[in-house]
Amino acid sequence: MTGEELVAHLADEVLLLDGGMGTLLMAMGLASGAASETWNLEHPERVVEAHRRFVAAGSEVVHTNTFGGSPVKLAAAGLEGRCREVNGAAVRLAREAAFGTGTLVAGDVGPTGVFLAPVGQATEELYERAFREQVGALAEAGVDLISIETMYDLREALAAVRAARAETSGLPILASMTFEARRRGYFTMMGDRIVPSLRALADAGADVVGFNCSVGSEVMVGMVREARDELELPLLAQPNAGQPRAGSRGLLYDATPERFAGDVARMVEAGARVVGGCCGTDPDFIRAIRGALDSAPASESAR
């Protein structure tokens, strides 16, 4: 599938992604604070099981376990020089879980965790080199599309989109940033606003643009409405499972699958074409979304 084919598909269909891979792996035993990418090498069977649970719940796309798979992030996790190995393994595990189901595999690309001046000492050249190495490894291993997500600095997000466009031959590119609701509107932590940011990502070569993480589903409904009023682009929305709080077994989220799915249905009514979940959304959330989408009138799901 090319980017153009995906956009054409989204004119008539809503695409359901998976949920929070990192928080699901934590529920399956990944230590808090540990890099989930280590499990691609140390516990591959658990990664496959996590993907299979999302597939069984109704996900049409699963993300590789590579959110922190850039060489910069991997070096910080003790996996320096192993970008191709880690990302390649992640693609193989996702492919194993999706085999025979028709589920697509998205190469997941998250932020590097390092900042540009004056906050940090990173450069846009460093970003682009890092993302080109990761995206190249994902593309070589055979992903169906690239999903850039949870970006909090437009400059880093643009570097990732440029790298994805340079390292792939027409693969669809999804690009989402993480925004918070403030008194004057929706902003990233670096001060980037929704509409100009999404327009810049599209101009750089992203086929689908949107937002994920940071907020719950109720807040993200408003983000979809604001973006749809200003942009004629396929929109992506992946909220968290409500607000987290510390519990005896780690972070707990306050949304129920049913309430979350109802909000996602409202996002689709408002114009979202690609939906799923972020932190705290396990397969029960995806199953609830699947049910909500399947029961919606055709005119709404294809709007």
Looking up residue 259, the CATH number of its domain turns out to be 3.20.20.330
How much is the average pLDDT of 53-63? 98
Whether 193 is in a domain gets the answer yes
**In degrees rounded to 5, what are phi and psi of residue 180?**
-120, 155
What's the pLDDT band for 243 if we cut at 50, 70, 90?
confident
Does residue 115 lie within any of the structural domains? Answer: yes
Question: How does the average pLDDT of the chain come out, rounded?
Answer: 95
Cα separation of the two ends of the chain: 22
Query: Residue 54's pLDDT is what?
Result: 98
Interval 231-250 mean pLDDT:
87
Q: What is the pLDDT of residue 150?
A: 98
Helix H or strand E segment including 53: helix 44-57
Domains in the chain, number: 1
Half-sphere exposure of 68 (CA within 13 A, CB side): 20
Mean pLDDT within 11-32? 96
Task: Express each pLDDT in 136-167 by its tens digit.
Answer: 999 999 999 999 999 999 999 999 999 999 99
The sheet that has 173-177: what strands, in order across it?
15-16, 272-275, 235-240, 208-216, 173-177, 145-151, 104-109, 61-63
Q: Which of 291, 302, 236, 268 is nearest to 8 (CA)?
A: 302
The pLDDT score that the predictor gives to residue 251 is 74
Decide if 166 is inside a domain. Answer: yes
Residue 302 lies in a domain: no
Q: How far is residue 135's CA from residue 113's CA, in Å, rounded to a whole number?
A: 17
pLDDT score at 296: 83
Confidence at residue 249, expressed as pLDDT on a 0 to 100 scale: 64
Q: What is the pTM of this model?
A: 0.96
Provide the token pair at 126.
């460093």
Structure confidence at residue 248 (pLDDT) = 63
Q: What is the model's pLDDT at position 302? A: 44
| Model confidence band, residue 303 (pLDDT cutoffs 50, 70, 90) | very low
In a domain, residue 170? The reply is yes
pLDDT classification of 246: cutoffs 50, 70, 90: confident
Mean pLDDT of 232-254: 86
How confident is the model over 48-75, as a mean pLDDT?
98
303 lies in a domain?
Answer: no
Percent of the chain at pLDDT exceeding 70: 97
Question: Rounded to an integer, what distance in angstroms lies between the CA atom of residue 300 and that of residue 74?
Answer: 42
**Does residue 41 form part of some domain?**
yes
Separation CA 234–CA 240 (nearest Å): 20
3-class SS of residue 242: coil
Residue 301 lies in a domain: no
Domain range for 289: 3-296
pLDDT digits (tens, 9 = 90+) for 93-132: 999 999 999 999 999 999 999 999 999 999 999 999 999 9
The pLDDT tens digits of the residues spanning 164-198 come to 999 998 999 999 999 999 999 999 999 999 999 99
> Where residue 80 falls among pLDDT bands split at 50, 70, 90?
very high
